[in-house]
Amino acid sequence: MINTGFELPLDVLRARQNVKWAKYGADVLPAWVAEMDFSVAYPIRRAMDRLVQAQEYGYPQRDGRSADDAVATAFAARMQSRFGWSVDTDLVQPLSDLVQGTFASIWAYSNPGDKVILQLPAYPPFHESISATGRRLVPHPLKSDGTRYTLDIEGLEALVDTQTRMILLCNPQNPTGRVFDRAELTEIGRIAIERDLVIVADEIHCDLVYPGRQHIPIASISPEIAARTVTITSPTKSFNIPGLRCGVLHFGTRALRDRFHARVPARMLGSPSIAGIDATVAAWTHGQPWLDEVLVHLDANRQRLAGFLASELPAIRLHVPEATYLAWLDCSALGLETSAFDFFHDRAKVAFSPGEAFDPACRSFIRFNFATSSRILDEILGRMADAARSAGRG
């Protein structure tokens, strides 16, 4: 088996105290939370080593300016080089937590009792950001066309009423792995313009797109759409540094930024640590060669997973993800008496993310994180097949 150079062996992973490897029992293989089982890029390690060696733990500054400026500059350069999107650094707000950014945006642009549209299934903190702020979630289910999940634009338009204030968009989509195309995004933008809505676009998976698809920042499509869009992103998913806590909010216009800060003063957001700042700048500026190699491996794992299910577990349905390292598996044809999560946790000793956390109606689904070594992936797949066959479900 080929050693990629960034795959970490099982004993090293088991020794970690992070949530992915410590939450479940020692006999359980984790394939749940969005974190890769890989070592990080050398430029990031070098940046962290420099901080430790210099014992540089004071108030951050870089090149005579606020260290937040370094993040904004790196973000702007990244968006221009990768997506052809010109970003004004004055409209970038660094922050330590993207979920906090989602909560703050909902708080800023709506009132308690207002409606927020969310495509389902959806990342669980999106649900929480709406309910915990006293807003009302309006579900906009993605539809399967047999090969991929699609946006129901007519259905979306019909959901908007006088109490609707926002569309919470995740693109690339978590958990389905869809990369929405320009036509779909343009229609979302059209609806937002015509119906006076704000779009909060979580684009954290934008760098994890497979050949044949292209990520398009929705705010890059037109100035009119940008004027209604807050973009939230970070290198933490694509460069495997979620614990370093750094990301950005980008406001499409100064008016949108000022409206945000009228309700959420910048000081209420806090700011990233110097470790998060330096790791982010290193990732966005020097980490692409590492990511290119990782994407080849993830693509191979994606195809391995799809091929295995087709040949060994055809009752489990998968629309091959166009982006992310997450696969949304429909296990309803297995006819399980328990949730799909419980079945595979109890019988296969594999922990996936439970489908019902993404949509209460998806108890027979699981989200599969396949960002691991080929050896561990094969072990997970083998355990799944054995469990299904032993229960007469294969």
Looking at the structure, tell me whether residues 208 and 301 fall in a common domain: no
Going by pLDDT thresholds of 50, 70 and 90, the confidence category of residue 4 is: low
Show Cβ contacts of residue 342 under 8 Å, excluding neighbours closer than 6 positions: none
- Whether residue 3 is predicted with pLDDT greater than 60 in this model: the reply is no
Looking at the structure, tell me whether residues 372 and 260 fall in a common domain: no
Q: Which of the two residues, 394 and 376, has the higher pLDDT score?
A: 376
Which whole number is the average pLDDT over 143-171?
A: 97
Range of the domain at 359: 10-42+288-390
| Residues 257-305: tens digit of each pLDDT | 999 999 999 889 988 999 999 999 999 999 999 999 999 999 999 999 9
Single out the residue of 206, 175, 179 nearest to residue 81, CA to CA: 206
| Residues 11-62: tens digit of each pLDDT | 999 998 999 999 999 999 999 999 999 999 999 999 999 999 999 999 988 9
Looking at the structure, tell me whether residues 178 and 313 fall in a common domain: no
- Whether residue 340 is predicted with pLDDT greater than 60 in this model: the reply is yes
- Which CATH number covers residue 38? 3.90.1150.10
How much of the chain, in percent, has pLDDT values that exceed 70?
98
Show Cβ contacts of residue 77 under 8 Å, excluding neighbours closer than 6 positions: 284, 285
* 251 assigned to some structural domain: yes
| Residues 318-329: tens digit of each pLDDT | 999 999 999 999
* 48 assigned to some structural domain: no
User: Contact 375/8 with Cβ under 8 angstroms?
Assistant: no
Looking at the structure, tell me whether residues 307 and 205 fall in a common domain: no
By the 10 Å C-beta count (0-12 exposed, 13-18 middle, 19+ buried), 313 is classed as buried
How much of the chain, in percent, has pLDDT values that exceed 90?
93
Q: Of 244, 264, 286, which residue constitutes the final position of a domain? A: 286
Going by pLDDT thresholds of 50, 70 and 90, the confidence category of residue 64 is: confident
CA distances from 74 to 175, 203, 234, 285, 286 (A): 28, 16, 11, 7, 10
pLDDT value, residue 270: 87
* 221 assigned to some structural domain: yes
**Mean pLDDT value across the chain:** 96
* Local structure of residue 38 (DSSP, 8 states): B
Show Cβ contacts of residue 188 under 8 Å, excluding neighbours closer than 6 positions: 151, 153, 156, 167, 169, 180, 199, 218
Phi first, then psi: give them for residue 12, nearest 5 degrees: -70, -40
What is the Cα 4 distance to its own chain's centre?
A: 24
| Residues 140-156: tens digit of each pLDDT | 999 999 999 999 999 99
Phi first, then psi: give them for residue 85, nearest 5 degrees: -105, 120
Which whole number is the average pLDDT over 343-353?
A: 98
Which whole number is the average pLDDT over 83-87?
A: 98
Which whole number is the average pLDDT over 299-312?
A: 98
* 2 assigned to some structural domain: no
pLDDT value, residue 164: 98
Looking at the structure, tell me whether residues 154 and 242 fall in a common domain: yes
Where does residue 170 fall: left (phi above 0), alpha (psi -120 to 50 degrees), or beta otherwise? beta
User: Contact 226/232 with Cβ under 8 angstroms?
Assistant: no
* 323 assigned to some structural domain: yes
DSSP-assigned beta bridge partners for residue 94? 248
Quote the CA–CA distance of 369 and 351 in Å, as a whole number.
10
| Three-state SS at 381 | helix
- Which CATH number covers residue 116? 3.40.640.10
pLDDT value, residue 5: 82
| Chain position carrying tokens 């809505």 | 197
DSSP-assigned beta bridge partners for residue 6? none
Show Cβ contacts of residue 41 under 8 Å, excluding neighbours closer than 6 positions: 239, 282, 283, 286, 287, 289, 290, 291
* 69 assigned to some structural domain: yes
Looking at the structure, tell me whether residues 164 and 243 fall in a common domain: yes
Which whole number is the average pLDDT over 86-109?
A: 97
| Residues 178-226: tens digit of each pLDDT | 999 999 999 999 999 999 999 999 999 999 999 999 999 999 999 999 9
Q: In terms of DSSP H, where are the helices of the chain?
A: 10-14, 19-22, 42-54, 67-83, 98-109, 124-131, 153-159, 182-194, 223-226, 254-263, 274-286, 288-312, 340-343, 374-390
Q: Of 286, 311, 342, which residue constitutes the final position of a domain? A: 286
What is the Cα 17 distance to its own chain's centre?
A: 22
Going by pLDDT thresholds of 50, 70 and 90, the confidence category of residue 1 is: very low
Looking at the structure, tell me whether residues 100 and 227 fall in a common domain: yes
User: Contact 394/308 with Cβ under 8 angstroms?
Assistant: no
Going by pLDDT thresholds of 50, 70 and 90, the confidence category of residue 394 is: low
Single out the residue of 327, 330, 324, 325 nearest to residue 372, CA to CA: 325
DSSP 313-357: -TTSEE---SBSSEEEEE-GGG--SS-HHHHIIIII-EE-EEGGG
State the total domains in the chain: 2
CA distances from 147 to 74, 142, 174, 188, 262 (A): 37, 13, 17, 22, 44
In what helix (H) or strand (E) does residue 115 lie, and over which residues does it extend? strand 115-120
DSSP 223-247: HHHHTTEEEEE-STTTTT-GGG--E
pLDDT value, residue 274: 95
* 348 assigned to some structural domain: yes
Q: Of 229, 260, 286, which residue constitutes the final position of a domain? A: 286
Looking at the structure, tell me whether residues 259 and 330 fall in a common domain: no
